[in-house]
């Protein structure tokens, strides 16, 4: 459990929060005193996550939200304002990732459109609906969950393009929102131990060696970074991308390994 209560009295809405990074994020905010709204396209799963927090004495509610639908997004934001008392933090976590076709020319339009609509346009819809309330709070913050895929090539054309778009949206929205007292930042995780990886036995162990810090990330690693950027500890930070990837994009492990193994004789 977090050591501080930085978010006492805050209202926090997190999208795609029933599991994985989203669930760890709502828990982190709730542990630090926030009243959180767990939103997810699966309302029952959202309620399960919220109920677990309430059972431990934390303030949490749940609401079904499809970020691909403007009406659903606006209903979730309105519900947050009504039930949380204020909306101080929005975390854009919902995403969709389609597998790549073997050949780029075989990529279907539907996969491209869906990944961008949920991952990028979904964050746009949520931020648009939340911004007036975040501005009214006097301490508003938006934190989006990007990916190292938006910074370098790790495959997944549509998903990566959507995550790169989030980096740009973070900058432009930060410029607009600053004069309204709202900060906008992004966390770009590397590989994180989340439910989708459970279907790929052994993949995380294989990837571990690519990370300079010797492990893949845990959802709590990302939640901690999100909480920092949303807090007053980051009061002079806006429009930035915070890479949380165990050194993956900073260190070329393959090059270093090859260099160490070179034959100088």
Q: Is residue 265's pLDDT more than 70?
A: no
Mean pLDDT to the nearest integer, 105-110: 94
Confidence of residue 238 (pLDDT cuts 50, 70, 90): very high
Across 87-96, 142-151, 206-215, 236-245, least confident range? 206-215
Q: How high is the pLDDT of residue 2? A: 52
Q: Is residue 61's pLDDT more than 90?
A: yes
Q: How high is the pLDDT of residue 188? A: 98
Q: How high is the pLDDT of residue 206? A: 87
Q: How high is the pLDDT of residue 264? A: 55
Active site members: 159, 163
Mean pLDDT to the nearest integer, 53-66: 98
Q: Which residue has the higher pLDDT, 152 or 3?
A: 152
Q: How high is the pLDDT of residue 203? A: 87
Condensed to tens digits (0 to 9), the pLDDT of residues 113-144 reads 999 999 999 999 999 999 999 999 999 999 99
Specify the CATH superfamily of domain 11-260: NAD(P)-binding Rossmann-like Domain (3.40.50.720)
Q: How high is the pLDDT of residue 3? A: 55
Q: Is residue 173's pLDDT more than 90?
A: yes
Q: Is residue 18's pLDDT more than 90?
A: yes
* Cα–Cα separations (whole angstroms), residue 105 to 101, 102, 110, 158: 8, 9, 14, 13
- The structure's pTM equals 0.94
Q: How high is the pLDDT of residue 132? A: 98
* Mean pLDDT over each residue of the chain, to the nearest integer: 94
């Amino acid at each position: 459990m977090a050591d501080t209560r930085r978010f006492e009295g805050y209202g926090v809405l997190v999208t795609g929060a029933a599991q994985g990074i989203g669930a760890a994020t709502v828990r982190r905010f709730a542990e630090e005193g926030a009243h959180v709204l767990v939103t997810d396209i699966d309302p029952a799963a959202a309620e399960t996550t919220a109920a677990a927090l309430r059972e431990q004495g934390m303030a949490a509610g749940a609401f079904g939200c499809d970020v691909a639908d403007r009406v659903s997004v606006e209903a979730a934001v309105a519900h947050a304002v009504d039930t949380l008392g204020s909306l101080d933090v929005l975390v854009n976590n919902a995403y969709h990732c389609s597998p790549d076709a073997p050949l780029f020319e075989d990529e279907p339009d539907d996969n491209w459109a869906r990944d961008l609509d949920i991952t990028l346009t979904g964050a746009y819809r949520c931020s648009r609906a939340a911004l007036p309330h975040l501005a009214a709070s006097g301490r508003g913050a938006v934190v989006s969950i990007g990916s190292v895929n938006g910074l370098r090539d790790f495959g997944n054309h549509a998903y990566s393009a959507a995550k790169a778009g989030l980096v740009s949206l973070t900058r432009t929205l930060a410029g607009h929102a600053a004069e309204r007292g709202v900060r906008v930042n992004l966390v770009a995780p590397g590989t994180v131990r989340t439910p989708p990886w459970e279907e790929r036995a052994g993949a995380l162990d294989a990837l571990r060696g690519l990370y300079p810090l010797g492990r893949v990330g845990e959802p709590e690693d990302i939640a901690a970074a999100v909480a920092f950027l949303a807090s007053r500890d980051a009061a002079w930070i806006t429009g930035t991308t915070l890479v949380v990837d165990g050194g993956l994009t900073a260190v070329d492990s393959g090059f270093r390994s090859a260099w160490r193994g070179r034959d100088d004789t």
